[in-house]
Amino acid sequence: MILVADSGPTKTDWALINGVEVSYFNSEGYNPYYMDVNYIQQSVFQCFPESTLRYSVLEIYFYGAGCSLERKDIVYTALAICFKNAKILVESDLLAAARCLLGNKEGFVAILGTGTNTCFYNGKEIVEIIDSLGFLVGDEGSGAHLGKQIIKAYVRGYLPNHLELLFSFTYGFSKLQLVSALYASKLPNKFAAQFAVFAGNNIQNVFIKELVASSFRDFFLGIIVHYKNYIGKEINFIGSVAFVFFEILVAVAAEFEMKVGKVNKTPLQYLVNFHMPNYSPSVNKKYLFSSHFKLIKTNNF
């Protein structure tokens, strides 16, 4: 059996390939900047409690947020403990996005999900990266960045009255409670990113629409314009934020003289095809659901 995984800050999407049968499921996200070997190992054991299944996995292709050259050994070690018979490859989620979106063509690639990541890809490897700097300093354009803008608008009283009432009713936080919860959260990026859903549900509101556009402008101004020769080029996206707010993203990209190319919500199916080029997704496709696995949801976020 073969495992292919796409791991972000919020969740990991897995594909378990057994002959012509592929099962899709997800677990929590594994970021080696925030998690150590022991934590990841224990979580993976909970996801794959049956030793027979773990010993049957012979290949793992794991693409993850935070899996830089300096950090990917953390994930590799955890997986090696869990899957003793498997040949394991750990790469960045950015390389997964590039392979998914461009294959062997060159171009600009960006991830806009819970976090942000960007690169220029030469068709084989990533040759230039401008660091997103993470949740505290950067991640412009991401769900976490947008969520922070929603939080700021609610706490400071910038939200239109009806949206303020709706936000309070939806999430049950007073303004002081929301700030306390954000700062008390062990994973503040995930906490903030949940409020991007509020933006998606109210995108017809002019205030929300401009808030999303402003977040995307921060993305281009803070990151993209610092790449060489970006003007007139195409930029391709992976991630739920880019997928949900596609029309606004296209309009903002045009402000910076760029075109939006491909936009995919998730790269997992494309990664399965990349590593299994003869696999037909129409054959015996199924979704695995048990007490350990969560069925991949069909909502936008």
Domain ranges of the chain: 2-96+267-287
Distance CA 256, CA 231 (A): 7
Q: Please report where in the chains the tokens 């991007």 appear, as a residue.
A: 196
Residues 147 and 195 sit within 8 Å (Cβ to Cβ): yes
Distances 47 to 17, 238, 269 between C-alpha atoms, Å: 16, 25, 20
Using the 8-state DSSP alphabet, how is residue 124 labeled?
S
Q: What is the pLDDT of residue 287?
A: 38
Q: What is the pLDDT of residue 277?
A: 60
Residues 47 and 293 sit within 8 Å (Cβ to Cβ): yes
Q: What is the pLDDT of residue 259?
A: 96
Q: Do β-strands 59-64 and 11-18 pair in parallel, antiparallel, or remain unpaired? A: unpaired
Give the closest residue to 94 by CA, choosing from 141, 138, 128, 70.
128
Distance CA 295, CA 285 (A): 13
Q: Please report where in the chains the tokens 């998606």 appear, as a residue.
A: 200
Question: Would you mind telling me the total number of residues written for the chain in this entry?
Answer: 301
| CB hemisphere CA count around 250 (13 angstroms) | 9
Distance CA 53, CA 6 (A): 20
CATH class of the region 2-96+267-287: alpha beta
Encode the chain (301 residues) as per-residue pLDDT tens digits: 899 999 877 789 898 888 778 888 888 888 887 888 999 999 998 888 888 888 889 999 999 888 887 889 999 999 999 999 999 999 988 998 998 899 889 999 999 988 899 999 999 899 999 988 888 888 999 999 999 999 999 999 999 999 999 999 999 999 999 999 999 998 898 899 999 999 999 999 999 999 999 999 999 999 999 998 899 999 999 989 999 999 999 999 999 999 999 999 888 888 888 777 655 444 344 433 333 333 333 345 6
- Strand stretches in the chain, DSSP E: 2-7, 11-18, 21-28, 59-64, 87-92, 107-112, 116-121, 126-128, 234-238, 259-264, 285-287
* 248 φ, ψ (degrees, to nearest 5): -70, -40
Q: What is the pLDDT of residue 289?
A: 34
